[in-house]
Amino acid sequence: MPTPPYRADHVGSLLRPESVKAARKGYFEDHSITAAELEAVEDAAIRELIAMQEEVGLMAVTDGEQRRSFWHYDFMGALTGLDLDERDPEGGVQFAGVKLRPIFPTITGKLGFPADHPHLAHFKFVAENTKVTPKISIPGPSCCHFRTAPEDIHVPEYRDIEVLTADIAATYKAAVQAFYDAGCRYLQMDDIFFAYLCDPKHRAEKEAAGQDPDWLIDRYAWMMNEAIKDRPDDMVIGMHMCRGNFRSTHAAEGAYDPAADAIFNKTDVDIYFMEYDTDRAGGLEPLRLLPKGKKRVLPGFITTKTGDLESIDDLKAKFEEASKHADLDQLGIAPQCGFASTEEGNTVTADDQRRKLELVVKTAEAIWGGVDA
């Protein structure tokens, strides 16, 4: 079977079908169904979504994150030493015109990756139900630091940011090995806060908190690299970067320039999923820092925030521009982000979602001659 990187791919999350929404409400809110009944509904939906991904021609598929509420918090909350607190409804993370639900990561003990982390089973289910490459997307190491407020760190030694980030890196190193042992050969980490730290507003917030945003970019790159540097040779690592994705809104803007060197040259990542669907992402010039070789960038010229379908001619023109900064052979195509970074999903339909994924495949075929070219 062909192995990644592929010319056509997607970030991971997919819209929740009505069956999953109803079952999650029944279990978590109404308490009218059992955990086993919820799992059966999720299983059925995931099988259908895997089939859809295969039908459109993708060679790497995910479970669409159907078993999660958030792209990041579900994974983080299952780590040893990290809890999720729900608080003041006005305290959620601010996106453009809307706030995220008020979930607050809280570090209560020494961090670690438990042997029974539920995402291992999530991956295995995909692997058992696909004919192509199973992939799982998890939040990258930076998320555990960026999304945890200093006042929510209750372990005294973790007040030293180097000690905290070293333990986060060690936790992720254990996670990488655990996923490999579970059969995973394609692991994606969504380390979106590289992009956030390119936003003047977010940089100013970190400076006000006494943290140097450029030091954080380098430290986040170190964390990622520590986590993956000793992975087996047959394990491929992807990394997604965007500026927020909640109900088709965003939370950051700014070109990749402040982080590009760290992203490309200080992490041993194989595949970079980079948001490029609006002017918020800046120009393509940072791609010039991609080192020659096997690393691959999948520019997200296709948006998941609206159902409007991009034209292949426009996409070809964008790749012609991108090829002025990076070798076309080191590029591929993926949507700008997931379709449902939270269970609410973006303001697109399931048909829009399928057409976008079909376009990803058609673009790869038009430019490179195939998904596995």
Please report, for the chain, the start and end positions of each structural domain, with discontinuous segments joined by +.
Answer: 18-368
Structure tokens at 311: 């034209």
Lowest mean pLDDT among 4-13, 119-128, 258-267, 280-289: 280-289
Lowest mean pLDDT among 59-68, 92-101, 179-188: 92-101
Q: Is the separation of the CB atoms in 237 and 187 below 8 Å?
A: yes
User: How far apart (Å, rounded) are the C-alpha atoms in residues 255 and 199?
Assistant: 8
Radius of gyration of the chain (CA): 19
Q: Is the separation of the CB atoms in 271 and 263 below 8 Å?
A: no
Q: Which residue has the tokens 């791609």?
A: 287
pLDDT over 80 at 96, yes or no: no
pLDDT over 60 at 98, yes or no: no
What local confidence, expressed as pLDDT, does residue 252 receive? 59
What local confidence, expressed as pLDDT, does residue 282 receive? 81
What local confidence, expressed as pLDDT, does residue 357 receive? 98
Q: Render pLDDT for 2-57 as a digit per residue (tens, 0 to 9).
A: 899 999 999 999 999 999 999 999 999 999 999 999 999 999 999 999 999 999 99
What local confidence, expressed as pLDDT, does residue 313 receive? 97
Select the highest-mean-pLDDT range: 149-163, 194-208, 253-267: 149-163
pLDDT over 60 at 100, yes or no: no
User: How far apart (Å, rounded) are the C-alpha atoms in residues 371 and 179?
Assistant: 25
What local confidence, expressed as pLDDT, does residue 97 receive? 46
User: Please, what is the average pLDDT of the chain?
Assistant: 92
Rounded average pLDDT over 185-199 = 90
**Candidates 3.20.20.210, 3.30.365.10, 3.30.565.10, 3.40.50.150; correct CATH number of 18-368?**
3.20.20.210
What local confidence, expressed as pLDDT, does residue 346 receive? 87
What local confidence, expressed as pLDDT, does residue 251 receive? 52
Q: Is the separation of the CB atoms in 254 and 204 below 8 Å?
A: no
Structure tokens at 290: 């991609």
What local confidence, expressed as pLDDT, does residue 294 receive? 96
**Using 50, 70 and 90 to split pLDDT, how confident is the model at 246?**
low
Q: Which residue has the higher pLDDT, 193 or 228?
A: 228
Q: Which amino acid is residue 45, in one-letter code?
A: A
pLDDT over 70 at 249, yes or no: no
